[in-house]
Structure 1
Amino acid sequence: MPHLNRRRMSAALATVAAVLTLGAATSSQAQGARDPGAEQFVQASAQKVIGILADKGLSEAQKEAAFHRAIDELADVPKITNFVLGKYARSITPEQKARFTPAFRAYAESVYRNRLDDYHGEVLKVTGSTVRKPGDVIVTTQITGGHNAQPVDVAWRVLGGSGGWKAVDVQFKGVWLAITQQQDFVSTIDNAHGNIDVLVAQLQRDAKRPPSSR
């Protein structure tokens, strides 16, 4: 009987191990799978942004207004605004937030527009996606056309699902902008002994600077 129990125990352990292995493999496959919904969102929304910048028929004022609307469709601006404040998002006062939000919005739009304008592309094509976890997807794209001699790789991190998607970060030349901005902003506020208004003033100045000096 002891020998039989050992055999049964060994068989049970083998079964458990097989189930765990299968579960791990399934989880890994799900995590690495592509997400068609996220890809379709980026294809449509990011292409719209690229198209606006490449449209030579728009005046500068029309292009700026259209770009502003397209960013609202593409990005979760409130979430990004909160994210880039890092640890200071927990302590910022409503009055400070009211000053920071429009300053960051103007600065961020100028940065994103300048980055995309640098590529002078006209066509964006999704090349794949990776599910980090359900509702959190990295979508890879290439921008071509215009003055681009070679396709330019741009990645987009989008959050959401069947109820809709929104971008929360974009990667140019291997650098995630929102993450970099958070590091820079927190450092600026730290150096100002926690005075967020110093960062607000800096963002307002930077948003007005010509692209070549940024």
Structure 2
Amino acid sequence: MLRTLAFAMAIAFGTVAASPVLAQDAAAQAPASQQNPEQVVQEIAHQLDTTIAGHRDQLKNDKEKLISVIDDVFLPHFDIDYASILVLGRHAREATPEQRERFAKAFYNSITHRYAEGLLNYTKGAVQVLPFSGDLNDKRTVVRTQVVLDDGKKLSVDYAFRKSKDGDWKAYDVIIEGISYVTNYRNQVDAEIRKVGIEKLIANLENQGEKALEAMDKQSKAP
């Protein structure tokens, strides 16, 4: 599960699109506030492709620079607050507004630090945004993509979107081969909160970052 999730999170925070021309056209035709979810995914992929290309060696030796690239390109299209509420699950109602805000920031920072280098490792994989079928839901939808690995195997990676109050489409979940990253972390976060409490969990994420995530993952696999 961890290797699959790591690969998918690398994709979520950017990888090469199989159709950069479509991405360029989409970006040119529609302002960010008017882009549909499919165009958002294509644009993110294209922006990261052009940003990473020719700079891999530099970024490999400068993780903070790599993370800043992810922040600049991906963060505007991701609903961190909503995703963090889903990850907290029922504990979101128990948390104070300040705790929810701190958790959202600390969780996102921990995720990016844990998976950022995957962006450099998997840019050879081709990502194809599959044609959308059906009517676009006015509030929520899913963009389906297919990733072709170097060995020819194909991986299904889908992105769940919701429309913000401002009318922008933002991603809030990544589903890899049917497994939701929100659900995966919600189970781990729930177990950790039951063990140490929400304040201690937030403090661990703030102070330990990706190491706190790794510890939760190991604990979830312990017999």
| TM-score w.r.t. length of structure 2 | 0.62
Aligned residue number for residue 42 of structure 1 = 41
Q: Deviations over 1:32-88 (max 9, x none)?
A: xxxx93212211124434665565164323222111122212211111122211111
2:78 maps to 1:79: no
Answer 1 or 2: which has greater strand percent: 1
Aligned residue number for residue 22 of structure 1 = none
Aligned pairs for 1:39-188 within 5 A: 39-49=38-48, 52=51, 55-56=55-56, 58-59=58-59, 60=62, 61-113=64-116, 119-121=122-124, 123-129=126-132, 133-144=137-148, 148-150=150-152, 151-160=154-163, 163-188=167-192
Q: Deviations over 1:70-119 (max 9, x none)?
A: 22122111111222111111121244335423321212223453665564
2:193 aligned to which of 171, 174, 189: 189
Question: Would the alpha carbon gap of residues 125 and 105 (structure 1) be closer, same or farther in structure 2, given more than 3 Å must change?
Answer: same
Question: What is the alpha-carbon root mean square deviation over aligned residues?
Answer: 3.4
Aligned length: 174
**Greater CA radius of gyration, 1 or 2?**
1
Question: Would the alpha carbon gap of residues 169 and 64 (structure 1) be closer, same or farther in structure 2, given more than 3 Å must change?
Answer: same
Matched residue type, 1:77: I
CA distance in 1, matches of 2:140, 2:85: 18
SS at match of 1:148: coil
Contact kept in structure 1, 2:66 and 2:116, CA below 8 Å:
no
* Percent identity between the two aligned chains: 24
Gaps of 5+ in 2: 1-34, 219-223
Q: CA deviation at 1:201?
A: 4.0
Matched residue type, 1:68: D
| TM-score w.r.t. length of structure 1 | 0.65
Gaps of 5+ in 1: 1-35
Question: Would the alpha carbon gap of residues 149 and 120 (structure 1) be closer, same or farther in structure 2, given more than 3 Å must change?
Answer: farther
